[in-house]
């Protein structure tokens, strides 16, 4: 049997809503997605351009650091790999800061976004994402705790050195691997 629930997690059938701040408004005319930092040339995609990228569907389990896990969620969107394939990444790039609406940001090693399960999702379980779950676009990084899966995502900053994001500055682990129980940073 394959063990699907990381240590210290409880499975929930519901999908809790969890975020800091309020649900941002969405205006497709003003929305853009930017890739900048350690790239040969920064990129800006309009909403229309982003939505024209090839689609991918994944099914994965999600694990929140507050100890709920939801198993077998199907997400539809654009592979993070596909999005990153649109720029020339400098060899110096090792980490990424994921930027979302209202200044939310979260950091992760670039390697997680190049795995084949990392996705920028606009649908979940066969329906458009609801605003509280990140409409119009959220990141999904199944191999890390769910706080790394930024809702209302607007861009990626490639970085040579790691830098803590919002929750990471507020006590959460710098990496956040649920299988290693990397929940909080050492006091
Ligand atoms: N923009 C943004 N994304 C965010 C957060 C947030 O506060 N702001 N919270 C994170 C946390 S802690 C979790 S557990 C998940 C929750 O996603 P859900 O509400 O779709 O379950 O979103 C993550 N993405
Ligand atoms: Mo979370």
Domain assignments of the chain as residue spans, ordered by start: 31-180
Task: Retrieve residue 64's tokens.
Answer: 């929140």
Would you report the helix, strand and coil content of the chain in percent, each value rounded to 5? 15, 35, 50
How far does the centroid of ligand 2 lie from the alpha carbon of residue 146, in Å? Answer: 5
SS3 state of residue 3: coil
Ligand 1, residues 14, 17, 18: which to mutate, most atoms within 8 A of Cβ?
18
Helix (H) or strand (E) holding 80: helix 80-84
**Which among 158, 45, 142 is positioned nearest to 98, based on CA atoms?**
158
pLDDT digits (tens, 9 = 90+) for 8-33: 999 999 999 999 999 999 999 999 99
Q: Write out the CATH class of domain 31-180.
A: alpha beta
pLDDT tens by residue, 87-115:
999 999 999 999 999 999 999 999 999 99
Statement: the pTM of the whole predicted model exceeds 0.95:
yes
């Amino acid at each position: 049997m394959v063990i699907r629930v990381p240590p210290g997690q409880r499975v929930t059938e519901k999908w809790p809503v969890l975020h800091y701040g309020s649900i941002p408004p969405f205006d497709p005319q003003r929305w853009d997605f930017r890739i900048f930092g350690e790239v040969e040339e920064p990129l800006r995609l309009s909403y229309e351009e982003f939505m024209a990228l090839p689609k991918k569907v994944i099914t994965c389990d999600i694990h929140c650091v507050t100890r709920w896990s939801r198993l077998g969620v199907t997400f539809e969107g654009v592979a993070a790999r596909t999005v990153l394939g649109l720029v020339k990444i400098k060899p110096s790039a090792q980490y990424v800061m994921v930027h979302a609406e209202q200044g939310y940001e979260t950091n992760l090693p670039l390697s997680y976004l190049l795995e084949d399960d990392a996705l920028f999702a606009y649908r979940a379980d066969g329906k458009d994402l609801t605003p509280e779950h990140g409409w119009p676009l959220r990141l999904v990084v199944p191999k890390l705790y769910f706080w790394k899966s930024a809702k209302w995502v607007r861009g990626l900053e490639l970085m040579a050195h790691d830098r803590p994001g919002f929750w990471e500055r507020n006590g959460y682990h710098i990496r956040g691997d649920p299988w290693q129980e990397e929940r909080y940073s050492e006091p």
